[in-house]
Amino acid sequence: MVLPARKSTIKDVARVAGVSLGTVSRVLNGSLTVGNAVHRKVMQAIEELNFVPSAAAQSMRRKSSLIVGCIVREISIAPLAEFVRASQTALDAAGYSLLLSISDGEEERERALLKRLQNRQVDGIILSPYTRLSQDYEAMLRGLGIPIVLVDRDKPDWADAVMVDHAHGVEIAVEHLLNLGHRKIALLTGPEDTFPAAQRVKGYMAAYKRNKVAVDPAMVRTGSYLATAGFQLASTMLSGKNRPTAIIAGGLSMLPGVLRAVQTLKLSVPEDVSIVGTGPSELSELHVPPISVQYWDHGETGRVAAMMLLDRMLKKGNPEPQRVLLPSTFISTRSIGPKPRRSSRAWSAS
């Protein structure tokens, strides 16, 4: 039986290079105190011996793992993938690796993942919680003792956060629809105690108020960002007597559910109902007609989150919690039309 070759050690490198263990250690840790000639000898010895330094040992010496954890709800949605990619690019440039975890929008899973990341001794965490943090969840988060940047959440206020001005984008969308004669505009979005949903409701109400149009409270439905909720709510509302003439799907996952409801009821966009989605996606771009969206740059959101975390981990900048609010706007396409007449074929079918 052939025994596996013995792995080279740092002692072997020092012996072949003719230097001390301390010199090899300084080269491995990127110290600038080692001369060029000695540095070359050590690197040649490392290559000759095919030496691979222990990441765990280096981490202990640096008191840093150079790993950042990132927890998101899901990764199948293109804008979230863009967010993660931009975060990773920014962290890569600073020498950090990104460890991605998917929470599936479950609070208990989020907590378990946070504990795992703590056990892995990550240097920081980018966290996009699905729901608003309860008091005990917040206490657990603070007790981790790890720099954290929240994504699109304004609580807890002791944490750094990058958020999106959803109110502005939705306000422009609602104003556009009001100008086309719509009055019953449905807003379907997540739990109202989460920042994005609260902001969308705020923008919705502001547009109605500025245009001096009364709001029908039945048109605003909050509670979930999931596609299943979009389907159930849209199906119920479009099948009832108090039908909306336009629907805003206020969440990245909601548009597929809303469009499935429209298709199931054999309605046409925008002839029977105008549709607005959230964030650009393959679905919004490839749908016929393309879907209007409340738009913001997910890549920029990811980049800013990573840069904020790097500043916090490296103890740069203001020690007080930092908040960055990124803009959103509205992109109108052919999925929006004038308010439909009730006598149309599809509307009279039910």
When pLDDT is cut at 50, 70 and 90, the band that residue 347 belongs to is very low
Q: Where are the alpha helices (DSSP H) in 214-320?
A: 227-239, 254-264, 282-286, 298-313
User: What pLDDT is attached to residue 39?
Assistant: 84
pLDDT tens for residues 152-203?
999 999 999 999 999 999 999 999 999 999 999 999 999 999 999 999 999 9
What is the model's pLDDT at position 127? 97
Strand order of the β-sheet with 148-151 is 97-102, 67-72, 124-127, 148-151, 160-164, 323-326
Residue 109 tokens, joined: 């899973």
- Residue 276 phi/psi, 5-degree rounding, is -125, 130
Is residue 87's pLDDT more than 90? yes
For the chain, the distance separating the N- and C-terminal CA atoms, rounded to the nearest angstrom, is 79
When pLDDT is cut at 50, 70 and 90, the band that residue 342 belongs to is low
**The pLDDT of residue 2:** 45
Model confidence at 319, pLDDT cuts 50, 70, 90, reads confident
The pLDDT value recorded for residue 7 is 77
pLDDT of 50 reads 82
Residue 330 neighbours by CB distance under 10 Å: 20
- The 10s digit of each residue's pLDDT in 15-60 is 999 998 888 877 776 666 778 888 888 889 888 888 876 655 555 4
> Which helix (H) or strand (E) is 67 found in, with range?
strand 67-72
* pTM, two decimal places: 0.80
Q: Is residue 344 scored above 50 in pLDDT?
A: no
Q: Which letter does DSSP use for residue 217 in this model?
A: G
172-181 b/e (C-beta count within 10 Å ≥ 16 → b) = bbbbbbbebe
Residues with Cβ within 8 Å of 309's Cβ and at least 6 positions away in sequence, in order, are 68, 124, 125, 126, 147, 148, 149, 160
Rounded CA-CA distance 312/158 in Å is: 13
For the segment 84-111, the average pLDDT, to the nearest whole number, is 93
Element spanning 164, H or E? strand 160-164
- Here the tokens at position 141 are 């988060």
- Of 277, 217, 226, 225, nearest to 244 by C-alpha is 217
Cα–Cα distances in angstroms (integers) from residue 156 to residues 21, 101, 116, 150, in the given order: 47, 21, 21, 9
What's the one-letter identity of residue 187?
Answer: L
d(CA 125, CA 116): 12
Strand order in the sheet with 246-250: 220-222, 185-189, 246-250, 274-278, 292-295, 329-331
CB 117 within 8 A of CB 100: no
